[in-house]
Structure 1
Amino acid sequence: MPVIGVIGGSGLYAVDGLQDATWRAQDTPWGAPSDEMLHGTLDGTEMIFLPRHGRGHVHSPSTVPYRANVAAMKAAGVTHLVSVSATGSFREEMAPGDLVIVDQFIDRTFAREKSFFGTGCVAHVSVAHPVCPALSAACARAARTAGATVHEGGTYLAMEGPQFSTLAESRLYRDWGCDVIGMTNMPEAKLAREAELHYASVAMVTDYDSWHPDHGSVQITDIIATLQANVARATAMVANLPAEVTDAPCDEGCDRALDHAVMTAPEARDPAVVERLRAIAGRVL
């Protein structure tokens, strides 16, 4: 049976409806995750939730402990990891209130550790296709059942933040063909790939980025209202996931992403580094 993990972004700090729900601490070789994790079951499926910014929103996009978050999910037995995050939109048709099932990323972050591997044990993992198509399709079905307007496919521009983009940057990213912009899906997606998790990204559109000619007239109260409505849609989507997520074989090979990825010869690997990496790469080490 799959174990579904959900990492919730801005505004999503818990999941309602879990049976036998308990908050539990989880340590990892990369430190503690953003918060305790909420364990429970939903329609007979084990589900684990983690608020990316912590309850009360205490972590900025740059200080989120991304490696610890993904490692904690892996250690807890998660097989399918769904990311939910608030984003701006570069496309008129991807309107505030809509959900976008992301399938590509452009990483413009620069102040974050982006890999579990490094000196002592080097690995190169392909992220050409950074999300799991089957899990992404399951999220789309679950979101539509929840009544959301869903766009399947979209490129997510990950910026460092915490400031929003300038008008010039917004226009540039739009010209690049990006669809939504956010601050938290990188390096999360890359780390999920290294941890051999099925990963999907659901972007909740809260506003048009600064490229939009009407953006200046949008009030922060409007954005917060949209965010709250999006959280309701995302919560309903999460409630529908157990009926949609299966343990069918993955055509993208998410659960085998480390095959042939470790480059350091066994005799040259640092034993202490290898021991730490067993938490996410024990299958190949």
Structure 2
Amino acid sequence: MNYEIKVGIIGGSGLDNPDIISGRIELNVSTPFGPPSDTLIEGTIENVPCILLPRHGKNHDLMPSSINYRANIWALKSVGCTHILASTACGSLKEEVAPGDLIILDGFVDRTKSRHSTFYDNSCGSFSGVCHMPMEPAFCEKTRKILIECAKALNLRCHPSGTCVTIEGPRFSSKAESNIFRSWNCDVVNMTTVPEVVLAKEAGLCYAAVGLVTDYDCWKSSGENVNVPDVLLLFKKNVKRVTDLLTAAVNEIGKRNWDDTLCSLQELIRNNTM
């Protein structure tokens, strides 16, 4: 099967500027799970077909627990996306992962509690049965490697792997929680990777995420605790670096053949659905 590549970009806080897309048109998409976070923006990046979706809405008025993750993934799948590149703000749980660094996630710990984390719950006829999706590897390794290669080529300070713990939010962690996550050897904490990464795999999409480290969470005994203004300020200062990375990655994705990878994802879904 010859797949036509289209890359969905899920923009996190500060990374949802439609100007990265050329030839933009707006798409209003409905899904069986309700509306996605916002209108989809379709166009190209480096001549590769792309779709931009602001995770929190263009006005950033959706808190992490209120995001319709199933509708977002369904919408991107329905308009032909084969890949998703996601950006996410993260708090660091390790001294060596410094604010301003990038991190290409390769694992997660789920500490959410109020989110729909599967399509296979009999709420939609398109997903019948029960899917016991293996989540190792959690992210698409081929897509992750492209992000790593592009970050190196751009001379960005980037950690090639990392485990994130996704919390429910919207509050930040307590110091006790932060220290527990550190004892689990997690690298960063965020509020949006789960269930996004799980749903993308259930949908047969190549999903990878780049985290922008904005703070040291609250585990450090010295320094100020994490707060929204500081997080957004650092994020805005580093938007260009992340945008450059995503642009370069889209270009590389468009150059490669993905037939085997995408066919393997479809086979994985079939083999693990009862």
Q: TM-score, normalised by structure 2?
A: 0.90
Aligned residues: 263
TM-align CA RMSD: 1.9
- Aligned match of 2:264: 253
| Alignment counterpart, residue 205 of structure 1, candidates 194, 201, 213 | 213
- Aligned match of 2:27: 24
Structure 2 letter corresponding to 1:256: E
1:70–1:192: 8 Å Cα contact kept in structure 2? yes
Matching of residue 67 in structure 1 with residue 70 in structure 2: yes
1:163 alignment partner, SS class:
coil
In the alignment, the residues of structure 2 paired with residue 127 and residue 252 of structure 1 have an alpha-carbon distance, to the nearest angstrom, of: 17
* C-alpha deviation, 1:52, in angstroms: 0.3
Stretches of structure 1 lacking an aligned partner (at least 5 in a row)? 264-285
- Aligned match of 1:151: 159
In the alignment, the residues of structure 2 paired with residue 139 and residue 15 of structure 1 have an alpha-carbon distance, to the nearest angstrom, of: 21
Structure 2 letter corresponding to 1:261: N
Structure 1 letter corresponding to 2:136: A
In the alignment, the residues of structure 1 paired with residue 168 and residue 162 of structure 2 have an alpha-carbon distance, to the nearest angstrom, of: 19
In the alignment, the residues of structure 1 paired with residue 238 and residue 76 of structure 2 have an alpha-carbon distance, to the nearest angstrom, of: 24
Structure 2 letter corresponding to 1:203: G
1:141–1:244: 8 Å Cα contact kept in structure 2? no
In the alignment, the residues of structure 2 paired with residue 33 and residue 5 of structure 1 have an alpha-carbon distance, to the nearest angstrom, of: 13
Paired residues for 1:168-179 under 5 Å: 168-179=176-187
After TM superposition, the structure 1 stretch with the greater mean CA deviation from structure 2, 226-235 or 185-194, is 226-235
Relative to 1, partners in 2 of residues 1:215 and 1:76: Cα closer, same or farther, differing over 3 Å?
A: farther
Stretches of structure 2 lacking an aligned partner (at least 5 in a row)? 123-127
Paired residues for 1:220-259 under 5 Å: 221-245=229-253, 246-248=256-258, 249-250=260-261, 253-259=264-270
Matching of residue 216 in structure 1 with residue 224 in structure 2: yes
1:13 alignment partner, SS class:
coil
Deviation per residue, 1:177-223 (Å, 9 max, x gap): 00000000100011001001001011110001101223426775543
In the alignment, the residues of structure 2 paired with residue 67 and residue 219 of structure 1 have an alpha-carbon distance, to the nearest angstrom, of: 29
Identity %: 37
2:224 alignment partner, SS class:
helix
1:196–1:256: 8 Å Cα contact kept in structure 2? no
* C-alpha deviation, 1:105, in angstroms: 0.5
* C-alpha deviation, 1:255, in angstroms: 4.2
